[in-house]
Amino acid sequence: MSLLVVSGSLNPDSNSRVLAREAHRVLTGAGHVATFLDLRDLPLPPCDGATAYSHPQVAKARALLAPAAGILVATPIYNYDASAAVKNLVELTGRGAWENKVVGFACASGGAASYMSIMALANSLMLDFRCTVVPRFVYSVETDFKAELITNPDVARRTAELATTLARYVAALKA
Ligand SMILES: Cc1cc2nc3c(=O)[nH]c(=O)nc-3n(C[C@H](O)[C@H](O)[C@H](O)COP(=O)(O)O)c2cc1C
């Protein structure tokens, strides 16, 4: 079973990237095959619903997403939503990359009030692409991190739990 961890922040100093790295470390430490896609390393064109689909970088994104049965998306919360970079990835890669996958979310935010922000993307993945969304997500705030480390043990615990639950769901759905 192949898993993919997506880091969806374009900020060089990103907390959601810290969550993504930790989730990836947990998965590989548990013996899972997990690829890491940092959207900072794969600049994508903005989705225009037309020519952007044939951009070579989009083909690379699709090739990384396609084999993954489970995708853990670590995203900043921007304007009460996932980052535009993450939404753009979904828009560019679409059904072929996401349909029937297990998806988990780890969010980095500025404050506690935006804790339901991931639901718009979660709903669209469930309704459009029949994704199975892990019904437990990581929601973190800026004070949960220091110097590229998770300093809140509960956030670290939840990140590990999200990663292992994602893998468990993928295995269960394959059985
Ligand atoms: C354009 C922009 C919009 C933001 N909107 C929100 C928001 O709606 N709710 C919130 O809690 N934090 C918001 N924030 C704060 C970010 O979620 C926070 O800085 C987080 O650490 C970003 O993730 P990253 O560190 O992985 O890039 C916003 C930040 C930016 C730059």
Mean pLDDT rounded to a whole number for the chain: 97
Closest atom, ligand 1, to C-alpha of 14: 25
Closest CA to 131 of 119, 123, 143, 141: 123
Ligand 1, atom 22, lies closest to the CA of 76
Residue 5 alpha carbon to ligand 1 centre in Å: 20
Torsions phi, psi for 102 (to 5 deg): -90, 130
**Ligand 1 contacts CB of residue 14 (under 6 A):** yes
Q: Quote the distance between the C-alpha of residue 22 and its chain's center.
A: 12
**The length of the chain, given as a count of residues:** 175
- The answer to pTM > 0.95 is yes
* pLDDT above 90 (res 175): no
User: pLDDT tens digit string along 125-155?
Assistant: 999 999 999 999 999 999 999 999 999 999 9
**Ligand 1 contacts CB of residue 75 (under 6 A):** no
pLDDT-based confidence at 73, cuts 50/70/90?
very high
**Ligand 1 contacts CB of residue 110 (under 6 A):** yes
Ligand 1, atom 5, lies closest to the CA of 78
User: pLDDT tens digit string along 82-127?
Assistant: 999 999 999 999 999 999 999 999 999 999 999 999 999 999 999 9
Q: What is the CA radius of gyration of the chain?
A: 15
Closest CA to 5 of 40, 31, 34: 34
Provide the Cα torsion 33, 4, 103, 47; round to 10°.
-160
Q: How far apart are CA 112 and CA 142, in angstroms?
A: 10
Q: Which amino acid is residue 174, in one-letter code?
A: K
